[in-house]
Amino acid sequence: MEYKWVVLTVTTVGIFMATLDSSIIVVGLPQVVSSLQTNLVEGVWFITIYRLMITVLLVGIGRMADLYGRVRLYNLGFAIFSLGSLLSGLSITAEMLLAFRLIQGVGAAFLFVNSVAIVTDAFAGSELGKGIGINQVAINAGTITGYTLSGVLIQLFTWRSIFLVNVPIGIFGTYWSRKRLKEISHPARGEKFDLPGAVTFSASITLLLLGLTLGNITDQLSLTLTGLSFLLMIIFVLAERRASFPVLDLSLFRNRLFTAGNIANLLSGL
């Protein structure tokens, strides 16, 4: 099989699984909450913490991939995701599930960020759009499949199966990825990771989500968290403008199509 198609199959499986687990718990949430003897408010965080990890780690992992290699981090993401899935399926308390969903979300973030980058390295010219398009179809398919598969698995087994189903696929995916993928792009040499930028961005997004979800927006705590989020985002922008090797090149936002696309994604997420 030609290498570019190997890349597409491996990355499509990874991105499909990562997206699947963003929605697969939604249908089974009442059973999870009942089994772990918690409440629905805490139960919602089983969903939120996973998606939060993907969002807050997006910029930092992207920069790490430039420095240490996209394939290396993708392989690591597959392993972390599989481990998080196994531990989530074995959780006996709500706190354990929350912690293990966080781990699973970290793994999913590595898969999400590096998937398109690896496809971009493997495909060239006019075929790049085809490669990215197929990869993106897997994202939508994963979301839709998650809702359906969740109900089927819970009816046949228990809620734990919605996490454990990932384990054999994840183990195979980790092995397959390590065996077949190769590093095409050369990691950057002599550059440093912008830790202040990565931390302030992640903290800003986390506080914003907390501010928007903890109670009514007029509540003092919500206003405080939201205000701190905007303050940290300002600090992030200032830090990136001064950084020699920023985690996010702010000059990209001079491109109107790039900016409009990101605004559209933000609005769709809300």
- Mind giving me the DSSP string for the chain? --HHHHHHHHHHHHHHHHHHHHHHHHHHHHHHHHHTT--HHHHHHHHHHHHHHHHHTHHHHHHHHHHH-HHHHHHHHHHHHHHHHHHHHT--SHHHHHHHHHHHHHHHHHHHHHHHHHHHHH--GGGHHHHHHHHHHHHHHHHHHHHHHHHHHHHHS-TTHHHHTHHHHHHHHHHHHHHH----SPPPSS----HHHHHHHHHHHHHHHHHHHSS-TTSHHHHHHHHHHHHHHHHHHHHHHH-SS-SS-GGGGGSHHHHHHHHHHHHHH-
Average pLDDT over residues 188-199: 82
Q: What tens digit of pLDDT does each residue of 9-67 get?
A: 899 999 999 999 988 998 889 999 999 999 888 888 999 899 889 988 988 898 888 88
User: Can you tell me which residue has the tokens 């830790």?
Assistant: 195
Give the pLDDT band (50/70/90) at residue 223.
confident
Q: Which fold has domain 3-180?
A: Growth Hormone; Chain: A; (1.20.1250)
Instruction: Give the residue, 206 or 83, on which the prediction is more confident.
Output: 83
CATH code 1.20.1250.20 region(s) in the chain: 3-180
Which segment of 85-89, 134-138, 150-154, 210-214 scores lowest on mean pLDDT? 210-214
Please spell the DSSP secondary structure of 208-226, one letter per residue.
HHHHHHSS-TTSHHHHHHH
Q: Write the pLDDT tens digit of every residue in 233-269.
A: 999 999 888 888 888 878 777 777 777 776 776 665 5
Predicted pLDDT at 67:
87
* Residue 164, pLDDT above cutoff 90: yes
What average pLDDT does this structure show over 145-152? 88
CB 197 within 8 A of CB 235: no
